[in-house]
Structure 1
């Protein structure tokens, strides 16, 4: 098998992600989208899917999904599986260009709120999954994407710290233990232990199969489920006046806050974030360098 280049690997990963986003979506036919015959797809259905995902506050995700559907359906049309590509002509969502950097105060309040809401009984009004506060802490402290956070396992726990599992060609590193990082890590494991006990979940023998963040059923938490939980959490926080619509930020912005808060120069920030290209710091590092005046 020919080895894929890094751009090809990223493309495959993106398409796999889009597929996992689409498969569990319910339809008016009372079937999941993944169970629906592709010949039953209509332009109206695709437009509703794209609009629905965009309305969740994730227009970029909706745009990725639309590009994926266009390409897959064109592949099927070219090979006789479809008569027309119903994804062509669909209105694409306007992707947000603005990058948000949550303030330390807002971020801290939301993390505390997630922990407090996570202690409520599941199904109780105002509750949220207990894992969310730990996901937020780990994403910020280790400068991780959401998918990287939910795929951490016991194998990533080293004596020196947490070994990252970065995607998109970024370099892994080991994030040293601090009291705050250790508390978040152990808190997630404690929650996992309680879920496994209540669900009589069989504990995997291999460390790399014991995910630190687990869903309510005890298994691995899917990224699509995390995205849905996050949108509900943020929307409710806005309704309750915890933050304004202008202060709204994505889960991924916690990584941006983490890179910005990393002490040191650009080289040290790049090592901490795992970016191979220094230019990526212009996207993730919002800190201002402290410089001397041109003359005394």
Structure 2
């Protein structure tokens, strides 16, 4: 768990702190040096910068003593997008050894081009007559993925697995509660480790790479993103297109 210093107001008027440091002493360079500790985790680094900036903006709205937000003077550090594309063979061997729960998760992630969190939060009311309604996270556009034989099979797998479990969630644990991130991470790493140990997989991949494969393989490259820039993060293979007539 990452600790983010909180902006607080002291009983002494005119003294506002960032952790134990007066805000007046915090400069853009201070924030930059702090964020450099997370250079090996660009996602976490950007999240921390945005959290600090949001807290600082909140402080400015309530306390006259809060100086200008130093995060506004920092440029967002460039991020290198992942280029890992999962081949059909790699997908097939991992699917083969995966437990039933993960078989269904893999198929939903790939076919619906879904993040894991979107599947973990998926409820039974999203199972529609025409297909699967995906409530996308991070401000992306919701959509309905129409039924295909393969998607129906995946749904049958998870439905049968949790047939005796009462829960609002489709991908719940055996007690019917929402799956925890640490549990999911541990189980997925175990699958990856087994595939690598058995010589079935030379290079491991993240579960999130399944969405990228789904977008890359999709005829319309549909990802739910509102901008081309966001969409390009998930296109992992060179597309073949028809020439202009």
TM-score normalized with structure 2 length? 0.68
Please, which of 200, 205, 225 is the counterpart of residue 249 of structure 1?
205
Give, in angstroms, the shift of residue 80 of structure 1.
8.8
1:186 and 2:156 are equivalent in the alignment: yes
1:227 and 2:185 are equivalent in the alignment: yes
1:1-296 equivalences under 5 Å are 22=1, 65=2, 69=3, 72-75=4-7, 79=17, 91-92=37-38, 94-95=40-41, 97=80, 98-114=82-98, 118=99, 130-194=100-164, 196=165, 203-204=166-167, 210-244=168-202, 247-263=203-219, 268-269=220-221, 272-285=222-235, 286-292=237-243
Q: Is the 8 A contact 2:6 2:18 kept in 1?
A: no
Give, in angstroms, the shift of residue 282 of structure 1.
2.0
Mapped to 1, the partners of 2:92 and 2:210 lie a distance apart of 11
CA RMSD of aligned residues (A): 2.8
CA 1:181–1:293: 2 relative to 1, 3 Å: closer
Bigger CA radius of gyration = 2
Mapped to 1, the partners of 2:238 and 2:138 lie a distance apart of 24
Give, in angstroms, the shift of residue 167 of structure 1.
0.7
Q: Give unpaired runs (5+ residues) of structure 2.
A: 10-15, 22-33, 43-79
Greater strand fraction, Structure 1 or Structure 2: 2
Instruction: Count residues in correspondence.
Output: 190
Give, in angstroms, the shift of residue 76 of structure 1.
6.5
CA 1:177–1:293: 2 relative to 1, 3 Å: closer
Q: Give unpaired runs (5+ residues) of structure 1.
A: 1-21, 23-64, 119-129, 197-202, 205-209
Mapped to 2, the partners of 1:101 and 1:190 lie a distance apart of 31
Mapped to 2, the partners of 1:90 and 1:173 lie a distance apart of 38
Greater helix fraction, Structure 1 or Structure 2: 1
Q: Is the 8 A contact 1:188 1:213 kept in 2?
A: yes
Mapped to 2, the partners of 1:243 and 1:163 lie a distance apart of 32
Mapped to 2, the partners of 1:287 and 1:171 lie a distance apart of 24
Mapped to 1, the partners of 2:132 and 2:174 lie a distance apart of 24
Structure with bigger RCO (C-alpha 8 Å, 6+ apart): 2
Mapped to 1, the partners of 2:97 and 2:169 lie a distance apart of 24
Q: Is the 8 A contact 2:97 2:191 kept in 1?
A: no
Give, in angstroms, the shift of residue 79 of structure 1.
4.8
SS for the counterpart of 1:255 is helix
